[in-house]
Amino acid sequence: MSLPLHHIDTSVILETRRTENGRYCRRYLQLVSYKYKGIVSFPALSEIFSVALTIEDYNRREDFLEVIYQLFKDAKIDTYVSKNMDRISLQIENIDSRIRGSDRWILASSIEANASALVTLDKELLENSKIEHAFGIKIMHPKDLL
């Protein structure tokens, strides 16, 4: 039996543990590789890397990257490279023009990868029934998967 494929948004990975959402994210990420198969797209990875580039202190930047590396290793999270997200991205924009930039690319990548769910904290994506119905994907908050 294969695990449901979840595309994990940047927000779920980077949310601080000190917030309520952060606690949901950590608990959800602990289930990845046990209950869910996790992937992260290159647009999400670029957001993570752009955060790393803003960290001036070498040791803090190294610690940040090590935490990300360990998360991917422990949860067996794979990466996903889109082959042709442009067409899907345009369809998303036609359905809901509020979804912009990297959020649209991350959503398009998750649709292209045939993920059963995009797991995110993004309010413009959550409960977006038009997108969910148009593409057959669930857009879920981590707390809904615990």
Q: How far apart are CA 136 and CA 139, in angstroms?
A: 10
Q: How far apart are CA 122 and CA 140, in angstroms?
A: 9
51 closest CA partner among 110, 125, 98, 102: 102
Residue range 105-115: average pLDDT?
A: 97
Radius of gyration of the chain (CA): 15
What pLDDT, on a 0 to 100 scale, did the predictor assign at position 84? 87
Where would I find the beta strands (DSSP E) of the chain? Answer: 5-8, 37-41, 78-80, 117-119, 138-140
Q: What angle do CA 19, 22, 25 make, to 5 degrees?
A: 160
Residue 1 pLDDT exceeds 80: no
Tokens linked to 138: 């669930």
pLDDT band at residue 50, thresholds of 50, 70 and 90?
very high
Q: What is the pLDDT of residues 61-98, one digit of tens each?
A: 999 999 999 999 999 999 999 998 899 999 999 999 99
Half-sphere exposure of 12 (CA within 13 A, CB side): 33
Domains and their CATH numbers in the chain: 5-145 (3.40.50.1010)
